[in-house]
Each structure stands twice: as C-alpha cells, then as structure tokens.
Amino acid sequence: MLDFKPEHIENCTFSCNAYEESSIVFMHMDETSSDQKEPFVIQVCTALKPVKMTALYMLNDWWTRPAFINSFEQIPERTQVLLIQSEKECFCILPLAYQNFKTQIAAGTDTSFGLRVFSNADVHKECDQPLFVISHDISIRKAAEKAMRAMAGLMNLPLRTERPVPQMLKYLGWCSWDAFYRDVNEEGLIAKAEELSAKKIPARWMLIDDGWLSTEGMKLKAYEPDRVKFPHGFLPMTEKNRKMSEIEWFGVWHAVCGFWEGIASENSLDCDEALYFTQDGNIYPDPVKGTPFYMKWYEYLKKDGISFVKVDGQSTVANFFRNYMPAPKAAEGIAHDIETASELLNRNVINCMGMAMESIAARKMTGISRNSDDFVPAKGMDGFREHLMQNAWNSLYHNILYTCDWDMFWTK
C-alpha cells in the first residue's frame, strides 16, 4: 500500500515492521542537515485513494482539532493524526515523537503525503528511529485505536485502562477560574465553600486555579502562595472549608515549568541543582535532574492541605528547550520529574495543554489529560460547537491512552 519516495534526502533508508495489526515505518539516515531545529520533508507515495479524510492538526502548540478534507494536498500544517476513509476500509496514519526526532504529517500531492521530521535541537546528526504508524480496519475508530496501541507498545506506555483515575474525579468539583480569574484569594474561597454548602451543591473537591502563585511577571518566585491573597498559606482555608462543606480534596494549578515563562532569577526555591539555566537567561526545571524542584514543591503543598495538582502548559516544554534538547527527550524528562514527585499526592494529577505528541507519549504514570481547547461560553454557540467537536474527534486517539478531561463546561 505504501511506496517510499524520499525527496531531497540523501543517504537514507526505510524499513517497515509489523506490530500486531499495524505497521511501523522506520528511517535511518547517516547524516542529517546541520540544523535540525528546522524540519526536513519526505514525500511518501501511496496507492491509497481517499474518499474523505479527517486531519487532526495542531491549532497551536498544545491542542488539536479536526479539519475535514478530501485530498492529501489539503492536509493542514502540523497534522498529528490522519484518518482516511477509502472505498473499502479505513486507515489511521500516526506520526511519532520518539527519542531524538518528531514527525508530523504535511501536505502532499494527489498520490503522496508529506512528513516533516525535526529534532528541535541541532545536536543530532543521525536519525535512526520510527517515523509513523499506519493501521487499517473497517472503522475510523478502530483504526485509530490500533495505531495508538502500536505506539504504546513501541514506547512502553500504559493504556487508559492501566492508568489511575484520581478518586476525587468520581465526584462533582468546583474550579475558581470563572468565579475569580487571577483575583482568587482566601476570603473568596471560604465564601464560595459557604455558598456551595448553603445551596446543597455536593461539590467534593475544589481547584484553586491560576492567580495564587508568588510571581515576578510571568515567572515563579516561591513555592508558597501570594501572601497578600493567602496571608497564612493554604492550610487555614483548607481546614475551615473542610469543616463547613462536603469538600474533601483541594488542588492547585501550576504551569509545567513553574509559571508561564519559568522561574525568576531572584527566587526562594533553594534548589539550583535541579534547575536548567539557558544561555539567554531563562530558568526552568531540569529535564534530567529536576525531580527535586517538584518534590520540594509538592511536599510543601501537601503539608498545607493540598491533595492534587493541575499541571498546565505542558506542550510548551519543546519551546523552552528549543536549541538545547530534542523535543521528545525534554518532554519525557519533565514528565518523569512531575510524575515521580506526584507520588506524594497519590499521583492525583490533571495534565493540561499537553496534546502535542511528545507530551502524550511522555507520561507513563498519570491518567488524566485535557482533550480540547478551553471552553469559552462568551463565544456563543460557535464556542459550544467548537468545544464539542474538538472533544469528540480528539478522543478518537487521545482516549486510548488517557481518561479525557473536557474542561469546565455547561450546557442547557
């Protein structure tokens, strides 16, 4: 069904290995271009004759959405999953993010589709790894499941049914974002718990979203919450709310590398050995030895009455370590650090903004992952439709590895 035709690529060979009911395509190249931050493109000729296709593409660095197309020429940039219906059966082409290189599907011709292959760092001169999986079945759903299972087998990833679901998520919860946005504080959270109790709303968990952190601009300064908003830390609030309401679990939001742009140079974290200092002056947790950064943070939070975390912005890791480390290795390292530290919280983690394939394939312990862009009711009915469409289509592949989080949403 596939006939490889590498264009503008010298000294490369391809092989195809069977994995259960899927095929995994490998590429070996002795010498890549000198700058593998930028992708090289391979055209893959195929005898497939699509009747219609759905391309699940990156609409930004962290979410996918569907595009409904009829030809390989219409494939959007940064396509992460390609679903194909032919006259007789259905196919799923799943590009991989593995070790030193990441692959995405690109536009092709009437008889070929493109592959963009890149490392995100120019430290590797050889490419010897799998590029993509192709599976087929009588339905799109089954083809997508086969492809994801093949990837899971190749990378030793647990499936959704093998991953934990935090106990709190079996119950109704409440999040501070739409009520307070970044103006969240101790007084407001106590008042909200009183309101939930008075109205007999059986919320069993409370998520303290963005706005609680001690920051300088967009960078983290301290593990402790903002002392203006939470003068005594979280513990007085969590203890009081537990007594007056049914809320048992309290969680906090934080960005994957501390805050949106990492860590402030003047900070009180006392863990420089676990941090990565870039040449341009930025500071992030170290993907190789950063576990103590998260461990110290989660130890503090646990003592302050916090029992889970929502870790946002996960697919920004590739951007933070661009030029320094391949995207798949950086994502895997940070995920390992977070998941190791989260054992302190019984692995009660909600992963978010992490639908780039290197993020999906990086986590080996936690079980919850956001499945769509934010739900924004202010967008009107178009916002409702977009939210439902993203979640329905993204779950075709994402739900094989994770229990999908559909964000906060309401209906009528």
Q: How confident is the model at residue 123 (pLDDT cuts 50, 70, 90)?
A: low
Which pLDDT does position 169 carry in this prediction?
A: 96
Once rounded to an integer, what is the mean pLDDT over residues 104-114? Answer: 94
Which pLDDT does position 410 carry in this prediction?
A: 76
Percentage with pLDDT > 70 across the chain: 93
The yes-or-no answer to whether 2-157 and 164-366 have a common fold is no
- For the stretch 186-191, contacts whose Cβ atoms lie closer than 8 Å and that sit 24 or more positions apart, written own/partner, are 186/229, 186/230, 186/231, 186/232, 186/236, 186/237, 189/237, 189/241, 190/237, 190/240, 190/241
Q: How confident is the model at residue 16 (pLDDT cuts 50, 70, 90)?
A: confident
Task: Give pLDDT tens digits for 171-221.
Answer: 999 999 989 999 999 999 999 999 999 999 999 999 999 999 999 999 999
Helix, coil or strand: residue 338: helix
Indicate the CATH number of 2-157 among 2.60.120.10, 2.70.98.10, 3.40.190.10, 3.30.930.10.
2.70.98.10
Once rounded to an integer, what is the mean pLDDT over residues 238-253? Answer: 97
Do 278 and 285 meet the contact criterion of CB atoms below 8 Å apart? no
Fold of 164-366: TIM Barrel (3.20.20)
Task: Give pLDDT tens digits for 22-76.
Answer: 888 887 766 655 445 567 888 888 889 999 999 999 999 999 999 999 999 999 9
The DSSP string of 37-67 is TS-EEEEEEE----SEEEEEEESSSS-EEEE
Which pLDDT does position 412 carry in this prediction?
A: 64
Domain edges within the chain: 2-157, 164-366
